[in-house]
Amino acid sequence: MNRSLRIAIAVAIVLACIPTAAFCGPEGRAADVQDLDDRVLAVEGLAGPEAVHWDADQGVWFISNFNGEAAGDANGFVSKVASDGEILELEFMTGTEAHPLHGPRGMRIDGEWLWVADAEGLHAFDRRSGEQMEFLDFASFEPGFLNDIELGPDGALYLTDTGNARLFRIVDGEISVVADADLASPPNGIARDPTGASLVLAPWGGGRMLMHYAPDSGELSDGPTLPDGGNMDGLEPWQGGLLVASQADQAIWFVKDGEAEIIIRTPGRPADIGLDAEGARIAVPYIALDRVDIWSLPEAP
């Protein structure tokens, strides 16, 4: 990818941090679409929250905070928040002096570790103590914007690079690029598909088509296309379908069996959503609003 395109993507990501006063999507909404009045709670007092991840064992939310710039300022952190929204420890995970968090993004639990994507690589933290256990340096790959992470069905970690339109695979600390030129759009969010057999990539930029990546074959294939929206961010499997955060129209979509509908209209641009599957709750972070909103999810149609 040439330098001008990388700059354009980086600018678009930064613009996602700027609040807007109105929705960008179609006029009107269905009667059962939730909005700000329907949220069950809000987590205030954050600092540029980009991603949320639920720890079911501990009953807590992990929230990654940019706290200023997304790269280079060494002051990012991950907060530990109770199920009811109380901030238990604002700066629960910060990294080390040698490898601090700058602007932490997507997160995923693997055993006792919480993996956190950041500007320069991947951090692994003990999810109970908050201690940093490992750091994987991506400097040799000249990362554009390392963004979201998922544990694949093959046991490997997969990491998106939105800035350079790449998908990385990590096994025992060994890093490889498994998709780049064949990606229709730069990937942002990544999650297991509802069957658990493959990975789904959310497109950033002008694309609205989700893509599937099959770890067993290394093949990419087209997924469903949303009828509206754009700049897709976080996504999570839910009741046989997918929850998708769309920044262009400030909405949470539910995609299932080739159909897509908006279930929540958000008051800001939704970033990397978190899911409490057992509690049927979705947590939506907004970088620009320094807040995370939580809604109860309806039963899937």
pLDDT digits 0-9 by tens, 155-182: 999 999 999 999 999 999 999 999 999 9
- Picking from 14-23, 165-174, 269-278, 286-295, which range would have the lowest pLDDT averaged per residue? 14-23
Residue 301: pLDDT band (50, 70, 90) is low
Q: What's the average model confidence in pLDDT over 55-72?
A: 97
Q: Are strands 157-161 and 166-171 parallel, antiparallel or unpaired?
A: antiparallel
**Domain extents for the chain?**
3-296
Is a pLDDT exceeding 80 seen at residue 111? yes
Q: Do the beta carbons of residue 62 and residue 52 sit within 8 Å?
A: yes
Is a pLDDT exceeding 80 seen at residue 15? no
Q: What is the mean pLDDT of the chain?
A: 91
Would you state the structure tokens that stand for residue 51, as one six-digit string? 């991603």
* DSSP label of 29: -
What per-residue confidence (pLDDT) applies to 299?
A: 78
Is a pLDDT exceeding 70 seen at residue 219? yes
Exposed (0-12), middle (13-18) or buried (19+): which is 173, by Cβ within 10 Å?
exposed
Please report, to the nearest 10 degrees, the dihedral formed by the alpha carbons of residues 297, 65, 126, 86 taken in order: -60
Find where tokens 């256990």 sit.
133
Exposed (0-12), middle (13-18) or buried (19+): which is 105, by Cβ within 10 Å?
buried
Architecture of domain 3-296: 6 Propeller (2.120)
Q: Do the beta carbons of residue 213 and residue 189 sit within 8 Å?
A: no
Question: Is 90 or 5 the better-scoring residue by pLDDT?
Answer: 90
pTM: 0.90
Q: Tell me how far apart the alpha carbons of residues 104 and 102 are, in angstroms, rounded to a whole number.
A: 6
Dmax (CA) of the chain: 52
Find where tokens 């002008």 sit.
206
Exposed (0-12), middle (13-18) or buried (19+): which is 4, by Cβ within 10 Å?
exposed
